[in-house]
């Protein structure tokens, strides 16, 4: 399983599409077996979910995320956990321990 966190300076970013990098953790049997970075490609509306699917991502963890992005990710069978904040290493530990919950609603898309 591959879990991608939208990050900047190893912290989960406030907005999914505006991160510098995705830190991707490979998880097997509740253990992190590897991690790598994917640079966020130049912004194109609706492109990022497909890009993440092409990279084998199963779960996205982000701070704020727009409703359109959530819908596109879910259509691609990528689980979305939103409105998360904190250091990437701490967040992934919470995820593995089933302590991470999605809070609230997607951002309105008015700022795009």
Angle at which helix 67-75 crosses helix 47-54, to 10 degrees, equals: 30
Give the chain's domains with CATH numbers. 2-111 (3.30.420.130)
**In the chain, what are the helix, strand and coil shares in percent, each to the nearest 5?**
30, 35, 40
Q: What's the whole-model pTM score? A: 0.90
Digit-coded pLDDT (tens) for 35-91: 999 999 887 877 899 999 999 999 999 999 989 999 999 999 999 999 999 999 999
pLDDT score of 107 more than 70? no
**pLDDT exceeds 80 at position 15:** yes
Q: How confident is the model at residue 17 (pLDDT cuts 50, 70, 90)?
A: confident
């Amino acid at each position: 399983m591959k879990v991608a966190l939208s990050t900047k300076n190893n912290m989960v970013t406030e907005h999914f599409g505006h991160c510098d990098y995705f830190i991707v953790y490979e998880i097997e049997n509740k253990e992190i077996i590897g991690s790598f970075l994917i640079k966020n490609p130049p912004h194109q509306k609706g492109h990022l979910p497909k890009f993440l699917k092409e990279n084998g991502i199963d779960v996205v963890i982000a701070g704020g995320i727009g409703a359109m992005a959530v819908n596109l990710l879910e259509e691609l069978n990528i689980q979305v956990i939103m409105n998360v904040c904190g250091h990437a290493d701490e967040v992934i530990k919470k995820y593995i321990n089933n302590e991470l919950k999605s809070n609230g609603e997607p951002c309105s898309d008015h700022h795009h």
